[in-house]
């Protein structure tokens, strides 16, 4: 009913969402001495009046930069989603923001003189290099959407892992960048506006020129090629423009990730289907959302004891709006998905390959248990030396168990949704669990491990309840589920960014846990999580028939006797249990559940049962190796297993993509 009411009336939806901005703007201007006084300060400020100088050089530039940045991110989001044919694509998909963040960190530590030239140029160069790496990995495949998405995700995770590693060992030096990384709109003049608006003006003209060619991408590849369109160069132009916009915005205001995802989807929910209309209304809505968020933050900033970056609050305020709108979104979630094609290979003897992976896993486990560095250098220990085994065994077991659970969860979710960007943390379960745990660490005086496990479990269950309530009436359509999870994950990112930007010394512990650490696992916890992971893995195997049928689309699945609601809910519950258990042990790892299923496909596991087994073995192997390498590479210091897994697995996956 709501979708029909808003059909072809996006202006009503944008006007409705603009009302809070208008109210906040009037209140802010009144608080600054009245609308007339504020406008006079903008046009002809009196240099002898401090309040007029503050208005002219701080307040008005901040409002202008919020409107420009919000509009630019939304425009980039529409272009990304159009080219990649994926509603989960956003301006940060291709790793531009992670590249900019890593470049600034590296310059701060190794070449601070570059920052004197201009940090925005350093950030823009880092984002450009990340984009270049994605294009280099995918050019041979004609920038096919699935391959570009996967390359962008792995580059994003890889560069993010490097940034986290630098932050972990240089927390005090890089603490200031945490505020920039969370998105800060604070201005001390018009330099940012002067720098950004020409880039956006050029981008708007370029988007208008590309409007008709990009509309062809709504057809399938065969139909588009029959019209004489060069898909490779068209995708390059669309993605290049989106990346240019993103890099320009990120270099000025930092990472603001939710606007570019939410605004295009909200406009689609309002009934807008034509590309030109989506570009127009998404740009306007993105500007409105970011400016509203920033004005609201400024109004209540005096009540807060710490600096809250605007980018973090956009997720906190925008996520509930997206959650409210998702049940009203009309999606074609039951159409047959596009085949993954180039990302699937068939091994002639998959079970022989599985045995090889199992042997490699056993070798890695022996390395983790018996080999390592000590006070006297490298050496081997006896398996009966309990003084050492007491702390090595739990870590190896926890690493293997978490890799197993996240890999199976990712495999189930990707086959259920037929979306290559689907992963356990995208569903929001790990985010909800992490929010609860982080709040427990910060709010409780000295929480025990048992208390934290209980708090994390409650957070995961609450998230699952939200997902079920939002999607029950729609029959758990995968696209809705993923968008719901993205909104919940945005809340998690907001909480994390605010807490880390606060400068609290407990942030170091949170960073280590978020990076996938096995530091705090004891023998009892390892035995419990190992037993739970083995049990859940056995429970997952009978679902393999559903996982073979569901990717064929809803009509075919129903014709073969699958009850869609029951199948989707059962698989969702399984994913939630796997993700929550893994998150409680090693934190919200963002790599294993995303790429282990793709790595299993690349080496030759195609059928659902084979896919589950192969992904589980690869996930365990990666985590066990990562835990051992993390303990040895900088001995006596340690790098969290999650970071090492991202670096090792990411390097292998990029190599595999390049060879496709």
The stretch 39-48 carries a mean pLDDT of: 80
The stretch 356-362 carries a mean pLDDT of: 92
What pLDDT, on the 0 to 100 scale, is given for residue 335? Answer: 42
The verdict on whether omega for the bond into residue 67 sits within 30 degrees of 0, i.e. cis, is no
Give pairs for 214-218: CB < 8 Å, separation 24+: 214/79, 214/82, 214/83, 214/238, 214/275, 215/274, 215/275, 217/82, 217/83, 217/85, 218/82, 218/275
**Higher pLDDT among residues 157 and 362, named by residue:** 362
Instruction: Place 341 in a pLDDT band, splitting at 50, 70 and 90.
Output: very low
**Mean pLDDT, the chain, as a whole number?**
78
Residue 54 has φ and ψ, to the nearest 5°, of -65, -40
Residue 633 has φ and ψ, to the nearest 5°, of -65, -30
If we measure between CA atoms, which residue out of 281, 286, 257, 279 comes closest to residue 270? 281
pLDDT at 536 over 50: yes
- Of the listed ranges 55-69, 281-295, 330-344, 464-478, the least confidently predicted one is 330-344
Q: What is the pLDDT of residues 71-122, one digit of tens each?
A: 999 999 899 888 887 776 777 777 787 888 888 888 888 887 777 777 777 8
The number of CA neighbours under 13 Å toward the Cβ of 319 is 24
Number of H helices, E strands in the chain: 30, 2
The stretch 469-494 carries a mean pLDDT of: 72
Place of tokens 């559940």: 593
What pLDDT, on the 0 to 100 scale, is given for residue 361? Answer: 92
Instruction: Place 514 in a pLDDT band, splitting at 50, 70 and 90.
Output: low
- Of the listed ranges 202-211, 375-384, 501-510, 518-527, the least confidently predicted one is 501-510
What pLDDT, on the 0 to 100 scale, is given for residue 337? Answer: 43
pLDDT at 279 over 80: yes
The stretch 127-151 carries a mean pLDDT of: 80
pLDDT at 205 over 90: yes
pTM here? 0.71
Query: Does residue 264 contact residue 322 with C-beta atoms inside 8 Å?
Result: no
Tell me how far the alpha carbon of residue 146 is from its chain's centroid: 17
Instruction: Place 301 in a pLDDT band, splitting at 50, 70 and 90.
Output: low
Tell me how far the alpha carbon of residue 39 is from its chain's centroid: 40
The stretch 559-588 carries a mean pLDDT of: 80
- Rounded to an integer, what distance in angstroms lies between the CA atom of residue 141 and that of residue 151? 12
- Of the listed ranges 39-43, 381-385, 556-560, 602-606, the least confidently predicted one is 556-560
pLDDT at 487 over 70: yes
Segment holding 148, helix H or strand E: helix 145-169
Write the DSSP string, 382-424: -TT-HHHHHHHHHHHHHHHHHHHHHHHHHHHHHHHH--TT--T
pLDDT at 332 over 60: no
pLDDT at 184 over 90: no
pLDDT at 657 over 50: yes
Q: Give the three-class secondary structure for 379.
A: strand
Q: What is the pLDDT of residues 242-260, one digit of tens each?
A: 888 888 888 788 778 778 8
- Rounded to an integer, what distance in angstroms lies between the CA atom of residue 167 and that of residue 433? 23
- Of the listed ranges 414-418, 503-507, 529-533, 596-600, the least confidently predicted one is 503-507
- Rounded to an integer, what distance in angstroms lies between the CA atom of residue 257 and that of residue 96? 11
The stretch 505-531 carries a mean pLDDT of: 73
pLDDT at 6 over 70: no
Q: What is the pLDDT of residues 434-475, one digit of tens each?
A: 778 777 877 777 777 677 777 877 887 888 888 878 777 766
Instruction: Place 54 in a pLDDT band, splitting at 50, 70 and 90.
Output: confident
Instruction: Place 325 in a pLDDT band, splitting at 50, 70 and 90.
Output: low
As a whole-number percent, the residues of the chain with pLDDT over 70 amount to 80
What pLDDT, on the 0 to 100 scale, is given for residue 507? Answer: 64
The stretch 216-233 carries a mean pLDDT of: 72
Strand partners, 373: 378
pLDDT at 408 over 60: yes
Instruction: Place 339 in a pLDDT band, splitting at 50, 70 and 90.
Output: very low
First-residue to last-residue Cα distance in the chain: 46
What pLDDT, on the 0 to 100 scale, is given for residue 303? Answer: 55
As a whole-number percent, the residues of the chain with pLDDT over 90 amount to 7
- Of the listed ranges 4-18, 197-211, 280-294, the least confidently predicted one is 4-18
- Rounded to an integer, what distance in angstroms lies between the CA atom of residue 67 and that of residue 192? 12
């Amino acid at each position: 009913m709501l979708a029909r009411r808003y059909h072809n009336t996006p202006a009503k939806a944008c006007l409705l969402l603009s009302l809070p901005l208008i109210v906040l703007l009037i209140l802010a201007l009144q608080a600054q001495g009245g609308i007339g006084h504020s406008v006079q300060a903008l046009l002809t400020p009196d240099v002898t009046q401090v309040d007029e100088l503050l208005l002219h050089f701080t307040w008005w530039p901040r409002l202008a930069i919020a409107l420009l940045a919000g509009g630019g991110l939304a425009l980039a989001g529409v272009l990304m989603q159009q080219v990649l044919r994926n509603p989960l694509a956003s301006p940060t998909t291709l790793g531009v923001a992670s590249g900019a963040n890593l470049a600034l960190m590296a310059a701060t530590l190794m070449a601070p003189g570059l920052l004197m030239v201009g940090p925005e140029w350093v950030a823009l160069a880092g984002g450009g290099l990340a984009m270049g790496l994605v294009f280099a990995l995918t050019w041979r495949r004609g920038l096919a959407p699935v391959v570009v998405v996967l390359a962008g995700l792995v580059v994003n995770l890889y560069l993010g892992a490097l940034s986290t590693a630098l932050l972990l060992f240089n927390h005090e030096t890089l603490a200031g960048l945490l505020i920039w990384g969370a998105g800060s709109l604070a201005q001390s003049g018009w330099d940012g506006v002067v720098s950004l608006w020409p880039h956006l003006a050029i981008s708007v003209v370029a988007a208008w020129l590309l409007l008709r060619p990009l509309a062809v991408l709504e057809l399938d590849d065969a139909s588009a090629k029959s019209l004489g369109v060069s898909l490779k160069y068209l995708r390059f132009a669309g993605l290049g423009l989106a990346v240019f916009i993103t890099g320009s915005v990120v270099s000025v205001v930092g990472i603001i990730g939710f606007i570019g995802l939410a605004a295009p989807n909200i406009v689609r929910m309002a009934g807008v289907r034509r590309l030109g209309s989506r570009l127009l209304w998404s740009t306007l809505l993105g500007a409105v959302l970011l400016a509203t968020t920033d004005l609201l933050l400024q109004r209540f900033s005096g009540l807060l004891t710490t600096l809250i970056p605007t980018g973090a609050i956009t997720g906190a305020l925008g996520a509930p709006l997206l959650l409210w709108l998702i049940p009203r979104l009309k999606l074609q979630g039951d159409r047959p998905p596009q085949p993954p094609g180039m990302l699937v290979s068939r091994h002639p003897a998959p079970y022989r390959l599985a045995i090889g992976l199992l042997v490699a896993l056993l070798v890695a486990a022996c390395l983790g248990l018996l080999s390592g560095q000590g006070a006297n250098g490298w050496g081997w220990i006896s398996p009966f030396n309990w003084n050492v085994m007491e702390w090595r065994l739990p870590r190896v077991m926890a690493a293997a168990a978490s890799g197993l659970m996240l890999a199976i969860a990712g495999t189930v979710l990707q086959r259920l949704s037929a979306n290559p960007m689907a992963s356990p943390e995208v569903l929001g379960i790990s985010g909800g669990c992490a929010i609860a745990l982080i709040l427990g660490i910060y709010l409780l005086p000295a929480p025990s491990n048992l208390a934290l496990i209980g708090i994390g479990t409650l957070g995961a269950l609450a998230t699952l309840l939200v997902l079920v309530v939002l999607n029950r009436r729609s029959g758990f359509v995968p696209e809705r589920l993923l968008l719901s999870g993205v909104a919940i994950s945005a809340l998690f990112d907001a909480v994390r960014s605010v807490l880390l930007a606060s400068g609290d010394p407990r942030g170091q512990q949170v960073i280590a846990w978020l990076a996938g650490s096995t530091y705090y696992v004891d023998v009892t916890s390892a035995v419990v999580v190992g037993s739970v992971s083995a049990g859940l893995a056995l429970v997952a195997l009978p679902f393999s028939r559903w996982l073979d049928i569901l990717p064929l689309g809803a009509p075919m699945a129903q014709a073969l006797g699958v009850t869609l609601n029951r199948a989707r809910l059962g698989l969702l519950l399984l994913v939630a249990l796997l993700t929550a258990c893994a998150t409680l042990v090693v934190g919200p790892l963002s790599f294993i559940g995303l790429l282990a299923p793709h790595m299993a496909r690349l080496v030759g596991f195609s059928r659902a049962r084979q896919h589950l087994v192969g992904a589980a073995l690869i996930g365990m192997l990666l985590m066990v190796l990562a835990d051992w390498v993390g303990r040895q590479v900088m001995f006596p210091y340690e790098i969290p297993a999650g970071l090492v897994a991202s670096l090792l697995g990411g390097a292998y996956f990029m190599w595999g993509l390049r060879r496709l």
